[in-house]
């Protein structure tokens, strides 16, 4: 398999996440079709796993050889969906190779990981000795609500450890923040715009709540944090309100993004915010809706078997073991870890290039990732 050609083929296939849960689109379908065709051509067992509305995960399995184990396998996972392409400065689906880089939407996040994992999986399938199963998982909807990984873990799979491909420059992310998102509704009293004194503006009250949320976010930054992730954060990402310019608005709504640390729950984080606001908002009518996203944080021991195996592979391929670090973004990995699969995030590319107007990945990183994943598979088989 030519890894770079596969990567360029994947970039050329649009797989933009609609960033909504109510969409009837199936944006990843053509890319999943491509991956399935490639794997079946190489006689690798694979199956599609329905997630929602025609959006399917793809799972491939290279079984252990005769006499090997049927459990304790290794999972290689990354996602096939990308963020939107508005305002990109390059042609998003024209995978240009220039100056040792491949440009295009998804080149870095995370189709480079998928291409490298596939190459390592296919190489492993040719080995006569395969002590443990190795699985490959391409998920959908990672960029919005992680429905692909949530569906995957509904079944039991013969794996005990996983590497999630995200742009980490082949460094080991063993902890990342989770996130809880909710809507906060501020209620007022509607009236004619000509007689505003007869109503109560939910937007004016909402502005007061917004200032308090800013103060609350500042307070979070002073709390004791995690050694790899620092403090939790809060951001108000969207605000809507009112019906017409000549009406006193009776509604103002905020969408709140709260990043949580390992050990924090979504319910605790939301309750803490609610109680903090209520102590400072006498006379305001507001409520917090149930979260529309509840995604856990990731924390894997730096001394776990998967981290040790990966660092051993890094010593062999890269000349030195990479450090264990934290990340502020979320991944599919926290869902895998939640069901007992030891998980580390490690892939080619730099997160600073993800979602950018001229996204790219370094070709050398892709080649190193193939060798690294291949060595990891061999290490895991000997473990």
Predicted confidence pLDDT, tens digits, the chain (383 residues) = 899 999 999 999 999 999 988 888 999 999 999 999 999 999 999 999 999 989 999 999 999 999 999 999 999 999 999 999 999 999 999 999 999 999 999 999 999 999 999 999 999 999 999 999 999 999 999 999 999 999 999 999 999 999 999 999 999 999 999 999 999 999 999 999 999 999 999 999 999 999 999 999 999 999 999 999 999 999 999 999 999 999 999 999 999 999 999 999 999 999 999 999 999 999 999 999 999 999 999 999 999 999 999 999 999 999 999 999 999 999 999 999 999 999 999 999 999 999 999 999 999 999 999 999 999 999 997 86
Q: Are 361 and 167 in contact (CB under 8 A)?
A: yes
- Amino acid 21: pLDDT: 86
Residues ≥6 apart with Cβ < 8 Å to 30: 13, 14, 15
- Pick from 119, 250, 144: which is nearest to 193 by CA? 250
Q: Are 152 and 49 in contact (CB under 8 A)?
A: yes
Residues ≥6 apart with Cβ < 8 Å to 338: 153, 296
- Amino acid 338: pLDDT: 96
Asked if the 3-176+297-382 domain carries CATH number 3.40.630.10, the reply is yes
CA geometry: angle 147, 43, 47, nearest 5 deg: 20
Distance separating alpha carbons of residues 203 and 93, to the nearest angstrom: 41
- Amino acid 377: pLDDT: 98
Domain boundaries, the chain: 3-176+297-382, 178-295
- Amino acid 382: pLDDT: 83
Residue 328 per-residue DSSP state: S
Helix (H, G, I), strand (E, B) or coil at 252: strand
Distance separating alpha carbons of residues 232 and 223, to the nearest angstrom: 8
Whole-model pTM: value is: 0.94
Distance separating alpha carbons of residues 350 and 169, to the nearest angstrom: 5
Q: Are 111 and 4 in contact (CB under 8 A)?
A: no
ω into 235 cis (within 30 of 0): no
Residues paired with residue 82 on neighbouring β-strands, in sequence order: 16
CA geometry: angle 337, 332, 40, nearest 5 deg: 105
Compute the chain's Rg from CA coordinates. Answer: 23
Q: Can you say whether the dihedral through the CA atoms of 137, 142, 146, 151 is positive or negative?
A: negative
Both tokens assigned to 231: 């403090």
- Amino acid 266: pLDDT: 96
Fold of 178-295: Alpha-Beta Plaits (3.30.70)
Look at the block and give the residue holding tokens 């030891």.
342
Strands 73-79 and 293-295: unpaired
- Amino acid 1: pLDDT: 86
Distance separating alpha carbons of residues 328 and 261, to the nearest angstrom: 9
Distance separating alpha carbons of residues 262 and 298, to the nearest angstrom: 6
ω into 110 cis (within 30 of 0): yes
- Amino acid 91: pLDDT: 97
Both tokens assigned to 295: 């995604």
Query: What is the length of the chain?
Result: 383
């Amino acid at each position: 398999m030519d890894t770079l050609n596969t990567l360029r083929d994947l970039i050329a296939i649009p797989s933009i996440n609609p960033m909504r849960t109510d969409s009837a689109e199936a944006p990843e379908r053509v890319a999943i079709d491509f991956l399935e065709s490639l794997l079946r051509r190489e006689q690798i067992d694979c199956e599609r796993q329905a997630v929602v509305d025609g959006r399917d995960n793809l799972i491939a399995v290279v079984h252990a050889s005769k006499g090997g184990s049927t459990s304790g396998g290794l999972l290689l996972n990354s996602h096939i969906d990308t963020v939107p392409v508005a305002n990109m400065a390059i042609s998003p689906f024209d995978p240009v190779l220039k100056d040792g880089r491949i440009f295009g939407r998804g080149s870095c996040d995370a189709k480079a990981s998928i291409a490298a994992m596939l190459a390592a999986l296919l190489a492993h399938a040719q080995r006569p000795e395969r002590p443990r199963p190795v699985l490959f998982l391409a998920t959908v909807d990672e960029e919005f609500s992680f429905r692909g990984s949530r569906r995957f873990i509904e079944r039991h799979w013969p794996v005990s450890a996983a590497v999630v491909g995200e742009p980490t420059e082949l460094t080991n992310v063993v902890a990342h923040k989770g996130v809880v998102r909710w809507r906060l509704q501020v209620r007022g009293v509607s009236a004619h715009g000509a007689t505003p004194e007869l109503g109560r503006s939910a937007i004016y009250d909402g502005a007061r709540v917004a200032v308090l949320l800013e103060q609350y976010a500042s307070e979070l930054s002073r709390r004791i944090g995690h050694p790899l992730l620092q403090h939790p954060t809060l951001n108000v990402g969207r605000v809507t309100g009112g019906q017409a310019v000549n009406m006193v608005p009776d509604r103002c709504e905020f969408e709140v993004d709260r990043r949580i640390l390992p050990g924090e729950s979504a319910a605790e984080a939301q309750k803490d915010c609610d109680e903090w606001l209520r102590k400072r908002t006498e006379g305001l009518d507001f409520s917090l809706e149930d979260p529309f996203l509840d995604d856990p944080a990731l924390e894997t021991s730096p001394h776990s078997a998967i981290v040790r195996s990966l660092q051993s592979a890094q010593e062999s391929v890269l000349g030195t073991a990479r450090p264990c670090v934290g990340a502020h973004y979320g991944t599919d990995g926290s869902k895998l870890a939640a069901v007992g699969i030891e998980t580390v995030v490690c892939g080619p590319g730099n997160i600073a290039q993800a979602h950018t107007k001229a996204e790219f990945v370094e070709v050398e990183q892709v080649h190193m990732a193939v060798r690294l994943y291949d060595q990891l598979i061999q290490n895991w088989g000997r473990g």
